[in-house]
Amino acid sequence: MRMHLVLPVGLVTALALAAPAPAQQAPAKGGVIEAGYTMLKATVVSVDLKTREVELRDETGKPFTITANEAVKNLDQVRPGDVINATLSESTAYLVRKPGQAVPGTVASAGGDSGKAGEKPKGEARKVTTKTVTVAAIDLKAPSVTFKDAKGKVDTIPVKDPSRLAGVKVGDLVELTYTEAIAFTVEKGPKK
């Protein structure tokens, strides 16, 4: 099994406007569709500095390999037996805007921090991608929404909670923001 520290970014418009609104509140014009995190603890089996591949074994003993990108500093400090602790997090949110308040398109930004020279690798990296699409049609009977992206691609998605469509009109814009992050440390393994 091969895993990359850089997670795939894919905005899933099928999730847009899908989360149910609390019954006592007016329909939201935005919110978090989903958010979650995964914690990982693994022991280093081997490190290939040339390919930057690190062979690991998770807590159940299952082996897997990651490829550390160039942003991960001090890879030469990682030794077999060291322990990697990582937290991966992802979230998807949306915001409905009126025409003129946003422009269809995709914007991505990335950033992060890494450890100091001579230390074990540690750090964090994050990537935020916002895709703005135009509401092309609303079918309250289905219920569904048809979106058109900046390149003219049209996609129709089902809406789980039609009350989320209250006040949304054809021509409105929906900003879908997908955020992914990883925070990790490498610690010296226990003495044997």
Residue appearing with tokens 């289905």: 142
Nearest-angstrom CA–CA distance, 189 and 192: 9
Q: How confident is the model over 126-140, as pLDDT tens digits?
A: 999 999 999 999 999
Q: Which domain holds residue 55?
A: 2-187
Q: How confident is the model over 85-141, as pLDDT tens digits?
A: 999 999 999 899 999 999 999 999 988 877 788 888 888 889 999 999 999 999 999
Which residue, among 3, 68, 30, has the nearest Cα to 167 in the 3D structure? 30
For the record, the structure tokens of 192 come out as: 């044997």
Look at the pTM and tell me if it is higher than 0.75.
Answer: no
The reply to whether 13 falls in a domain is: yes
The reply to whether 192 falls in a domain is: no
Q: Does the CA dihedral 129-132-136-141 come out positive or negative? A: positive
The number of domains in the chain is 1
The reply to whether 163 falls in a domain is: yes
